[in-house]
Structures are given as structure tokens and as C-alpha cells.
Amino acid sequence: LAFTNRVGALAEEEGHHPALLTEWGRVAVTWWTHKIRGLHRNDFIMAAKSDALVAEGGHVTRAEIQEGRAP
């Protein structure tokens, strides 16, 4: 759930929200722009930012939770 929460926090910051499917050990993130019913440049940017979260590990530490810094 940590990665899903990080993607959710990113979406809130950017005001652009994906479809998220969270399953055991797996998260599917789908970016697309509803208004144009397709892909926009922003969707590719958000996908790259999501990939960066994966590269960072996408996890939340116990300290972040205890200190209220977890997304």
C-alpha cells in the first residue's frame, strides 16, 4: 500500500489522478486524460514521475508513519 499511497500523494500534488489497481504484491497505475479521452503529454510526465517513485523504492518507513510524515 505504501507505493499506492505515494502515487496518490503525487496525484494530489499535481491535480491529475490515475486509475489505481492494488493487488497483493502488485500495483497497476494507468494515466490518461478524461477530457480528451486519451493520452496527453501530462500523462507521460506523470508516468515518468511514477517510475521515479519505483526507483526510490516506493516504501514508507516506520519512522515516517510514527512522525506523521507518511503519505
User: Which of 58, 48, 71, 70 is CA-nearest to residue 26?
Assistant: 58
Q: What percent of the chain lies above the pLDDT cut of 90?
A: 58
Q: How far apart are CA 66 and CA 14, in angstroms?
A: 26
Q: How much is the pTM?
A: 0.74
The reported pLDDT for the residue numbered 36 is 95
Residue 66 vs residue 40, higher pLDDT: 40
CATH of region 2-66: 3.30.1360.20
The reported pLDDT for the residue numbered 56 is 81
Any idea where the domains of the chain sit in the sequence?
2-66
Q: Are 71 and 9 in contact (CB under 8 A)?
A: yes
Residue range 38-61, pLDDT digits in tens: 999 999 999 999 988 887 875 655
User: Which of 7, 18, 9, 8 is CA-nearest to residue 42?
Assistant: 18
